Amino acid sequence: MILAVICLLLQMSGIHAETKYTLHILDTNDVEVTSYSIEKGSSLEKYLQAHPSEYANMTWGDTSRIPLLYSNAACTVRYDPNSAVTKDLILYVSTVWSINDINLRLIWPKAGQSAGNPGLYPSEHHAAYYPSSYRWLKTADAKVPYTGVFQQGATYYLEAYLYPVEQYGFYTFGNTLKAYINGGQASYTAEPFPSNGIRIVYAVKIDDPVQAFVRRLYNMCLFREPEPAGFQSWSGKLKNKTITAAQTVYGFFNSSEFLNNGFSERDFVETCYEVLMNRAYDLPGLNDWLDALDNGVSRNFVLRGFVGSNEFKALCAKYGIAQGTITLTEPRDQNYGITSFVARCYKKALGRSFDVPGLNTWCKKILAASSKKAEAIKTASDGFFHSAEFKNHNYSNSEYLKRLYRTFLNREPDQEGFADWLKHMQNGMSRDQVLYGFAYSPEFTKLMASYGIK
């Protein structure tokens, strides 16, 4: 795209000023395309000087530069004796610019809201057009603006008149013209309007409560407005009661689009508060959920907690939809105590955080066992201390003992006990004998009980 830039240079001959300006048309690389002369004192010169606010950084002098036109072709200048603005030079684009896309954003109206300023504005990519006026109408051909309250499910009409900023750009509006609102389901009609403007009338249907709930999820989870097919699908299923609010939330929070947000654990929990409780987090609650994630449960475990809250129940009642719940399938989400116990074994024995496949495997074994206590002892002792990962560290007897204390007794070694165990090992006691001594100790039994494993 070529940016035509006007350079109005006062031509000097010695100390005597010429009677003309030279109009230089440059491309984006500042290479001159062509040039023309403008008479000093002409109506075009006067008009340019009288409208400096319409041109960025407009000054007059030897180096004046005035950004004026955008075009897909070089600009030309010709005399227009019929111009209402001036009787001399008028700028044109050599190829008429067809406006194919006017992107306007509307702050979406809600049921119960008064029909005031609609908040209509152009996107940054189409900033050449601004609404010079807009108003709500009850019918498309209404003469009087609508100033009442929006009713759910009803259709209202938003009338906008748009004019190009460029005073000398002449455009046509052909069959390819489209205009749309980022903000909701709205049809429109558009037509050329005198003085190179365009009149657009949008038919805007106000959301019913179910649609408002779905739009809220799009806005707050995916940070965008809904696509028509998805919006209708989610809304229809909720209205038909084939899915619940909780299932809808699960669908959004587990969509590839949401997962690709790259949220940290804290970002995720804060989003749960905002979307599902309609408020900011409280610090104790935030920390509890972050601890739960650190202890091994999935984000869906957290999500189920939020959709099961009284605050989400109240939110569902506001939108007139069934609350529902979320079904969790991963072993690590079935028993918080067991999951926390296994996650702790990773940290204390292996010195690292859990991996999800391994965590699910160990949790599944304990959950399926007839004696969860016996399986938990087996997991902590044989599962972790006999693992190849642990053995590959080749710990000394001293370091081996320290990890037993931290894993099974949840404390650092006491001097006397540590010296006694170390002496036994030096005298031939095997590591497994020491391991099972810790695993079957009263202290470890008490520790397992604190996780609900008895």
Can you give the C-alpha Rg of the chain in angstroms?
36
Query: Quick one: pLDDT at residue 7?
Result: 31
Least trusted range by pLDDT, from 8-17, 164-173, 359-368, 421-430? 8-17
Residue 114 corresponds to which amino acid? S
Of the candidate ranges 14-23, 92-101, 105-114, 397-406, the one whose mean pLDDT is the lowest: 92-101
Helices (H), 22-108: 43-50
Question: What is the per-residue pLDDT for 240?
Answer: 94
Which tokens sit at 50? 């009288």
* pLDDT class of 425 with cuts at 50, 70, 90: very high
Give me the pLDDT at residue 227, please.
Answer: 87
| φ, ψ of residue 316 in degrees (nearest 5) | -65, -40
How much is the pLDDT for 84?
41
Distance CA 326, CA 161 (A): 48
What's this model's pTM, rounded to 2 decimal places?
0.67
Domains of the chain and CATH, by start: 2-95 (no CATH), 98-205 (no CATH), 209-328 (1.10.3130.20), 336-450 (1.10.3130.20)
Helix (H/G/I), strand (E/B), else coil: 166: coil
* Ranges 90-94, 136-140, 178-182, most confident: 136-140
pLDDT reported for residue 22 = 54
Beta strands 101-106 and 178-182 are parallel
Question: Which has the minimum average pLDDT: 28-42, 44-58, 380-394?
Answer: 44-58
Q: Which amino acid is at 346?
A: Y
Query: Taking a C-beta distance cutoff of 8 angstroms, is the pair 66, 167 a contact?
Result: no
Neighbours of 70 (CB within 10 A): 15
C-beta neighbour count of 351 within 10 angstroms: 12
Q: Looking at 69-73, 186-190, 426-430, which range is the least confident one?
A: 69-73
| Own/partner long-range contacts of 10-15 (Cβ < 8 Å, ≥24 apart) | 10/60, 10/61, 10/62, 12/62
Tokens standing for residue 16: 């005597």
Q: How many angstroms separate the Cα of 230 from the Cα of each of 211, 215, 243?
A: 11, 10, 14
Look at 273 and 92; give whichever has higher pLDDT.
273
List, in sequence order, every residue forming a beta bridge with 156; answer none if it has no partner. 204
The mean pLDDT value for 19-23 works out to: 51
pLDDT digits (tens, 9 = 90+) for 67-77: 333 222 333 33
C-alpha to C-alpha distance for 348 and 22, rounded to whole angstroms? 81
| pLDDT reading at 92 higher than 60 | no
Tens digit of each residue's pLDDT (9 = 90 or more) over 272-287: 999 999 999 999 999 9
Taking the C-alpha atoms of residue 242 and residue 239, their distance in angstroms, rounded to an integer, is 8
Q: pLDDT (tens digit, 9 = 90+) per residue, 331-349?
A: 999 999 999 999 999 999 9
Per-residue pLDDT tens digits for 118-164: 655 544 433 344 555 778 888 888 888 888 888 888 888 888 776 54
pLDDT at 155: 86
Pick from 175-179, 347-351, 370-374: least confident: 175-179
Measuring CA to CA, how many Å separate 379 from each of 369, 373, 375?
Answer: 11, 10, 6
Q: What percent of the chain has pLDDT over 70?
A: 65
Contacts of 124 (CB under 8 A, 6+ apart): none
Q: What is the pLDDT of residues 193-249, one digit of tens each?
A: 555 556 777 788 888 889 989 989 998 999 888 888 999 999 999 999 999 999 999
pLDDT score for 97: 34
Sheet containing strand 155-164, strands side by side:
129-137, 155-164, 197-205, 186-193
Asked if the model's pLDDT at residue 438 lies above 90, the reply is yes
* Token pair recorded at residue 83: 């111009």
